[in-house]
Structures are given as C-alpha cells and as structure tokens.
Amino acid sequence: MKYDGGCLCGQTRYTVIGDPIRVLYCHCNDCKKQTSAPYSVVASYAKEQITFQSSNFLKKYHSVGDSGSPVKRSFCGQCGSPIFSEIEAAPDVIIVKAGTFDDASWLKPSMEIYTKDKLKCAQIDPSIDSFPGPRPR
C-alpha cells in the first residue's frame, strides 16, 4: 500500500509505503486544541515508511501530554495543518494525522485512546478497544 498526503496549502507533501502499525482515535485534549476537531484519527508508521517530497514549512511544537511524556507536534507553518506527531517513548515511530491523507477512505481505526476526555459528540464504535489514557505498552 502507498498513500500520499499533505497539508491544506500543498507546501507539505508526503508518501507512506506499507501498512500502518496501527490506526486509532485519540480523544486527548491536546489533539482537540491542535486540530479543533472533537477527536483525531491517527495512523502510526515506522519512520522509514514515510518520505517527504516537500517539508520546508514544517514547524514543530513541543507539548507535554498529561501522561508527562513530551510530544513533538509537526504542522505546516504556512497553512497550519497538523501533519504528524512524535513521542519520546517511541522514537522510531511517526504518528500521522490521518485527515491529511489525500484519500483517507481506507482508514479503519482499531482502538480509541484518552476516552477519559471523550466528548458526548464523539461517540464512536463501541465494539473497538478503548483506553481511558494512552495505549498500554
């Protein structure tokens, strides 16, 4: 599988190759603030699965999640689209904001995390695994 994606303005473009490690819904409050959406859908990949055709405008914002672990959130500095996150606990992994795929119709999240912060308007699929905080390791 090979999927292209990018930001709203087109200055950030990437391609991922192969299946994601995992696709999940994140209900954390930091994702809400960053995206303005009631939850994020994210797809994690090994870093070698992603290549950037264009990333000159990428900026990083370092936040500290309520688990206490730092999160580096990368976004397009020209249009503001959140593109991916990196977490210290998994340095070889890149967590792509799945709404930036040109075609996101294939996404099938397998779990929800941070359901302690889940909004009433964000009730999803009760049959998938859900965790009140981060995904247990």
Q: Which residues bind Zn ion (CB under 5 A)?
A: 7, 9, 11, 26, 28, 31, 76, 78-79
Evaluate whether 12 touches 55 at the Cβ level (below 8 Å). yes
Shorter beta-carbon distance to Zn ion: residue 18 or 53: 53
Evaluate whether 25 touches 38 at the Cβ level (below 8 Å). no
Shorter beta-carbon distance to Zn ion: residue 40 or 49: 40
Q: Which residues contact 1 (CB under 8 A, 6 or more apart)?
A: 17, 18, 19, 106
Q: Which residues contact 134 (CB under 8 A, 6 or more apart)?
A: 65, 67, 113, 114
Closest distance to Zn ion from the beta carbon of 3 (Å): 18
Closest distance to Zn ion from the beta carbon of 31 (Å): 3
Shorter beta-carbon distance to Zn ion: residue 76 or 94: 76
